[in-house]
Amino acid sequence: MGYTVATSSGNLLDAIVAASRRTVATRRASESATALASRAARRQPRGAAFREHLARHGQINVIAECKRRSPSRGVLRRDYNPGDIARSYEQGGASAISVLTEPAFFDGSLAHLEEVRAAVTLPILRKDFIIDEYQLLEARAAGADAVLLIVAACSPSELAALIEAARTMGLAVLVEAHAADEIRQSVEAGATIIGVNSRNLKTLDVDLGACDALVGEIPPGCVAVAESGVRSREDVRHLHAIGYQAVLIGEWLMSAGDPRKTLQTVTEIGGAATLERGDPRKMHDGVPATGERDDGAAGATRRERR
């Protein structure tokens, strides 16, 4: 049974990280890091393929997420079969699959990741609250190609060490930030794939404006990913137009009657014109300098690209 948390309940991130530490301690007591590393060595993660899939030009790159519940909305899908859902995502044109494995607040499981690995050939992201190298070994052993690291959940030294350890294991790293200083910390730690989460994990509030405000902080050499709060084709079109190469979509797809068809409405958009980060051009009244209308801008003038 997972937890449903009200947005006024304090710092949710701290609670989840504390639960993750307890989970890691329990699992390490059951299986040593040495034994886990032996299992992990049997896998051949494709970290490079994960990054390549998110950076492809001329299309909308979607990380489609398998997630049974969320702390804010409760159960998203009662008939939750991650293998079947992942297959439908692959058929719908996803570039990669994200699998929630956090058990206490999201009803996730490493078994779900293993089911998805057996079902699809796409690169897979383990989405969890990773704070220990033991969890990286778990991710590789379960068949992940990439892991999520959250800046706010780690100290700068921990973040850099986890990024390096993941790369040594052949895993790509999506580093998640929610503020400009966190993006700078990500870059300093060696991140090459940076996600901007429009959801504040401390309060659960969602503001897609965070993606607008922060895309210019991501260096041109990094892959930019927009996370959370995406609920329409217009949202995706807009995020792509302002410089995001990929979007991570979870609750919208998991709440849909037919996730594959919903995903196809996004992937069939094709390669809309995209402003390169680092390009000094502006968007005026929602129109990039390329001339393509950004339907999601609602007439707002966007800030200058850095």
Annotated catalytic residue 234: no
* Predicted confidence (pLDDT) at residue 274 exceeds the cutoff of 60: no
In a domain, 240, yes or no: yes
Q: What is the number of structural domains in the chain?
A: 1
Catalytic residue among 20, 61, 65, 102: 65
Examine the pLDDT at 302 and tell me if it is beyond 70. Answer: no
* pLDDT at residue 290, as a whole number: 35
Active-site position among 197, 198, 200, 217: 197
**Is 255 one of the annotated active-site residues of the chain?**
no
**pTM of the full predicted structure?**
0.86
Predicted pLDDT at 306: 44
Q: Quick one: pLDDT at residue 276?
A: 53
Phi, psi dihedrals of residue 237, rounded to the nearest 5°: -60, -45
The predicted-structure confidence for 32-86, as pLDDT tens digits, reads as follows: 999 999 999 999 999 999 999 999 998 889 999 999 988 878 888 888 999 999 9
227 in active site: yes
CA geometry: angle 270, 232, 4, nearest 5 deg:
135
The span from the CA of 169 to the CA of 29, in Å, is 22
Is 5 contained in some domain?
A: no
Residue 12: predicted pLDDT:
87
Exactly one of 67, 133, 186, 198 is catalytic; which is it?
A: 67
The active-site residue, picked from 114, 115, 138, 227, is 227
Residue 51: give the domain boundaries: 12-297
Q: Is 197 a catalytic residue?
A: yes
67 catalytic, yes or no? Answer: yes
202 is catalytic: no
- Tokens 């990039």, residue located: 288
Q: Has residue 54 been placed in a domain?
A: yes
Pick the catalytic residue: 20, 88, 90, 127? 127
Catalytic residue, candidates 176, 182, 217, 251: 176
**Side-chain half-sphere CA neighbours of 190 within 13 A:** 13
pLDDT value at residue 206: 77
CA–CA dist 24, 22 (Å, integer): 5
- The CATH number given to whatever domain includes residue 75 is 3.20.20.70
Counted residue by residue, the chain has a size of 306
Q: Mean pLDDT throughout 130-155?
A: 97
Angstrom distance (rounded) from CA 78 to CA 269: 30
Q: Is 65 a catalytic residue?
A: yes
Six-digit token pair at 191? 């991140």
The answer to whether residue 163 sits within a structural domain is: yes
- pLDDT of res. 271: 53
6, part of any domain: no
**302 in a domain, yes or no?**
no
